């Protein structure tokens, strides 16, 4: 039988099979993925073939279909290891908060670079609109200006108060969407606002770190009643960019990509080369300094801009 992986708990997977039933599955054999060392061979969103076992609604995953795309995060502690967060996505959105907890520009940029590298359209959802002061709104406008200018859609919501939730429903309708972000940014509250029957657990922000407690421990696919699938991921504290060669990195910054061919040298690194169109645009104010800082940080392999 064919099926869609809807939940992963590490060693067991839930698969929605084409007979309409959900099977608890384990893996038989090894699945190789483009020579990436990953901690999980199968991910939520994967299409698989399963063979039922004697016990009702249990099965073995015997085949993994080719993925259209996938998105991975680095295991920060084990730099060579990576975790596939989800596969076969139409789009990915990062839920961003400017306070409680703070989402840095560097973190946003790592998410967007990863999505670009794996060919997944991405955007930003700014949550907790109800908490914004006038100064906060001003910072929000600055953030939005950076990303809208380079083609990333930005949305503003208050998941708690239901503000602008309908626009998010329209965004997710009939699509497979990954939703990600730091713990505590309100992903579960947002999902509950979109689909109240999902009844996901939400947790208060832990005061001591302002990073939020993990309420989602494993990626899970939620079927939306109005059409579409939502993949909720565990809160991410760090996002290490993996599998991208430094000379390819500028391809995943749209504002650099469109200027690269104007550089004097074909192998320009956009760091200190003469005749660099990217540096000229930075100097002219056409590239945001925060984006260029993120480029340098990722280029030099610094994983500290969480």
Three-state DSSP string of the chain: CEEEEEEECCCCEEEEECCCCEEEEEECCCCCCCCCCECCCCCCCCEEEEEECCCCCEEEEEEECCCCCEEEEECCCCCCCEEEEEECCCEEEEEECCCCCCCCHHHHHHHHHHHHHCCCCEEEEECCHHHCCHHHHHHHHHHHHHHHHCCCCEEECECCCCECHHHHHHHHCCCEEEEECCCCCCHHHHHHHHCHHHCCCCCCCCCCCCCCCCCCCCCEEEECCCCCEEEECCCCCCCCCCCCCHHHHHHHCHHHHCCHHHCCCCCCCCCCCCCCHHHHHHHCCCCCHHHHHHHHHHHCCCCCCC
Q: Is 154 annotated as a binding residue?
A: no
Q: Is 28 annotated as a binding residue?
A: no
Q: Is 243 annotated as a binding residue?
A: no
Q: Is 228 annotated as a binding residue?
A: no
CA distance 10 to 139: 39
Q: Is 268 annotated as a binding residue?
A: yes
Q: Is 164 annotated as a binding residue?
A: no
Q: Is 187 annotated as a binding residue?
A: yes
Q: Is 25 annotated as a binding residue?
A: no
Q: Is 130 annotated as a binding residue?
A: yes
Contacts of 134 (CB under 8 A, 6+ apart): none
Q: Is 186 annotated as a binding residue?
A: yes
Q: Is 276 annotated as a binding residue?
A: yes
Residues that constitute the known binding site for GTP: 127-130, 181-189
Residues that constitute the known binding site: 127-130, 181-189, 263, 268, 270, 276
Residues that constitute the known binding site for Zn(2+): 263, 268, 270, 276
């Amino acid at each position: 039988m064919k099926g869609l992986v809807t939940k992963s708990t590490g060693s067991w997977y839930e698969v929605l099979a084409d007979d309409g039933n959900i099977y608890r599955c384990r893996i038989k054999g090894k699945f190789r993925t483009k020579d990436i060392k990953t901690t999980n061979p199968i991910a939520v969103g994967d299409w698989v073939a399963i063979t039922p076992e004697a016990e009702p609604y249990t099965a073995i995953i015997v085949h993994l279909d080719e993925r259209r795309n996938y998105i991975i995060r680095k295991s920060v502690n084990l730099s060579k290891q990576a975790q596939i967060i989800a596969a076969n996505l139409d789009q990915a959105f990062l839920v961003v908060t400017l306070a409680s907890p703070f989402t840095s520009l560097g973190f946003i940029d790592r998410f967007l670079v990863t999505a670009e590298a794996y060919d997944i359209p991405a955007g930003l959802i700014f949550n907790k609109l109800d908490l914004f002061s006038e100064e906060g709104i001003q910072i929000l406008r600055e953030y939005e200006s950076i990303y809208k200018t380079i083609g990333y859609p930005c949305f503003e919501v208050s998941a708690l108060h239901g503000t602008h939730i309908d626009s998010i429903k329209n965004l997710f309708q009939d699509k497979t969407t990954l939703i990600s972000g730091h713990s505590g940014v309100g992903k579960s509250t947002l999902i509950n606002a979109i689909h109240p029957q999902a009844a996901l657990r939400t947790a208060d922000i832990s005061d001591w770190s302002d990073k939020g407690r993990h309420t989602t421990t494993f990626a899970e696919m939620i079927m939306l009643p109005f059409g579409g699938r939502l993949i909720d991921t565990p809160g991410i504290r760090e996002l290490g960019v993996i599998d991208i060669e430094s000379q390819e990195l500028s391809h995943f910054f749209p504002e650099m990509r469109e200027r690269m061919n104007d550089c004097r040298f074909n192998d320009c690194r956009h760091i200190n080369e003469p005749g660099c169109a990217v540096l000229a645009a930075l100097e002219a104010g056409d590239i945001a300094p925060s984006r260029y800082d993120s480029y340098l940080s990722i280029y030099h392999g610094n994983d500290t801009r969480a």
